[in-house]
């Protein structure tokens, strides 16, 4: 039998994250794709040895889309639609519940096409009744379909993903994108929960975010490059016509944050976040909260649920430690920290 696309995505994404060893992070610390110029390693906090505060002064609680979050972290959209991905969703939701993170399901298109897949998404809400849970759809969805997806899991928000690069490399992918902006606007008008628009690892530019603000969306998740690479994943599923040259396409997450700030929308950051220092860097560049997908999935699949809970707990603990030495009582205070940008990021920041 041909492998289901959703199962293949999980397999190929995990393969990307395990193949580069990250010895200094240790077991469960998670390997991740190699650092590239213009990525998070080009964002450096200036060290001020007397900036520190007391650990108990640090408070990670924050407000996102008008709701209180206990940490500025979320497990970003991944999966659902098959028995195996349903089990993954259940485990991700338990990990989110145990650590207090927000969580998104993967695209709920499988549910819109076949209601019998409902039970592969609903565990996210069943396991986490009080959690901030986000539904996820593509921009082809109708307002009625968006209502159904949100309703199934009583979602607190809807993520709409924009994935044009993935679609063209995907053998069976979409080839028409011109209707997306209108479709987003219609969904925003029809829903009574906030709509977040995200990329899937190629980044949202400032120009895109400005347009999204006009369409009425509530927040943008820049979901930049540097982590899971969907050009590579879909290329791995192709039999004919190699798109390997598209690997690495897009804006890195720090470049996208710099480009998209001051465009009228609250920003969330994801894509290539490897460890708590990357979380702090994204917050310093103005993100309200920071998400990860591939790294958390990889820990879950390779080391199990307890390891994922332990890893997220470590991230929360170490983010608190980093804020302590940086003198940031609240996550928003990180934006006042002195940072130095590498050459390509300074050019990106300077060009605005």
List of residues contacting ligand FNR (CB under 6 A): 9-10, 13, 76-79, 106-107, 136, 159, 161, 198, 200-201, 223, 227-228, 270-273, 292-295, 297
Residue placing its CB nearer to ligand FNR in the complex, 51 or 181? 181
Minimum distance from CB of 262 to ligand FNR (Å)? 23
H/E element holding 9? helix 5-18
Minimum distance from CB of 32 to ligand FNR (Å)? 8
Residue placing its CB nearer to ligand FNR in the complex, 200 or 308? 200
Task: Please list, in sequence order, all residues whose beta carbon lies within 8 angstroms of the beta carbon of residue 313, skipping any fewer than 6 positions away.
Answer: 99
Minimum distance from CB of 261 to ligand FNR (Å)? 19
Which residue has the closest beta carbon to ligand FNR?
A: 227
Minimum distance from CB of 40 to ligand FNR (Å)? 11
Residue placing its CB nearer to ligand FNR in the complex, 139 or 215? 139
The β-bridge relationship of strands 339-341 and 102-104 is unpaired
The β-bridge relationship of strands 73-75 and 102-104 is parallel
Q: At 208, list the tokens.
A: 């895109």
Distance of CA 179 to the CA centre of its chain: 24
Residue placing its CB nearer to ligand FNR in the complex, 72 or 271? 271
Residue placing its CB nearer to ligand FNR in the complex, 32 or 324? 32
Minimum distance from CB of 187 to ligand FNR (Å)? 14
Residue placing its CB nearer to ligand FNR in the complex, 202 or 324? 202
Task: Please list, in sequence order, all residues whose beta carbon lies within 8 angstroms of the beta carbon of residue 115, skipping any fewer than 6 positions away.
Answer: none
Minimum distance from CB of 115 to ligand FNR (Å)? 18
Place of tokens 């540097």: 226
String of DSSP letters for 159-206: EEE--HHHHHHSTT-----TTHHHHHHHHHHH-SS-EEEE-SSS---H
Q: E strands along the chain, which residues?
A: 43-45, 62-64, 67-69, 73-75, 102-104, 133-138, 157-161, 195-198, 219-221, 267-270, 289-292, 339-341
Minimum distance from CB of 301 to ligand FNR (Å)? 10
Residue placing its CB nearer to ligand FNR in the complex, 59 or 142? 142
């Amino acid at each position: 039998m041909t492998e289901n696309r959703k199962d293949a995505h999980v397999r190929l994404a995990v393969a990307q994250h395990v193949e580069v060893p990250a010895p200094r992070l240790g077991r469960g610390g998670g390997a991740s794709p190699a650092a590239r110029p213009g990525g998070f390693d080009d964002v450096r906090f200036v060290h001020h040895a007397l900036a520190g505060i007391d650990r108990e002064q640090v408070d990670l609680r924050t407000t996102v889309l008008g709701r209180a979050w206990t940490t500025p972290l979320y497990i970003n959209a991944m999966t659902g639609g098959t028995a195996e991905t349903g089990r993954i969703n259940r485990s991700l939701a338990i990990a989110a519940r145990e650590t207090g993170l927000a969580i998104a399901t993967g695209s709920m298109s499988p549910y819109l096409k076949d209601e019998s897949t409902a039970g592969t998404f609903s565990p996210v809400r069943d396991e986490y009744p009080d959690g901030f849970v986000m539904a996820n759809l593509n921009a082809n969805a109708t307002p009625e379909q968006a209502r159904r997806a949100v309703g199934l899991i009583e979602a607190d928000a809807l993520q709409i993903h924009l994935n044009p690069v993935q679609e063209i490399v995907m053998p069976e992918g979409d080839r028409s994108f011109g209707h997306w902006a209108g479709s987003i606007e219609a969904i925003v008008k029809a829903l009574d929960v906030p709509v977040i628009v995200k990329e899937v690892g190629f980044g949202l530019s400032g120009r895109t975010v400005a347009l999204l603000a006009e369409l009425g969306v509530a927040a943008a998740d820049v979901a930049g490059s540097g982590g899971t690479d969907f050009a590579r994943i879909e290329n791995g599923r192709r039999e004919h016509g190699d798109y390997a040259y598209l690997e690495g396409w897009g804006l890195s997450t720090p470049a996208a944050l710099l480009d998209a700030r001051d465009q009228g929308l609250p920003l969330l950051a994801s894509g290539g976040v490897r460890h708590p220092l990357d979380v702090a860097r994204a917050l310093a560049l103005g993100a309200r909260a920071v998400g990860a997908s591939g790294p958390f999935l990889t820990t879950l699949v390779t080391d199990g649920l307890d390891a994922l809970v332990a890893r997220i707990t470590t991230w929360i603990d170490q983010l608190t430690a980093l804020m302590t030495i940086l003198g940031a009582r609240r996550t928003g205070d990180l934006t006042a920290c002195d940072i130095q940008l590498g050459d390509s990021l300074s050019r990106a920041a300077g060009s605005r």
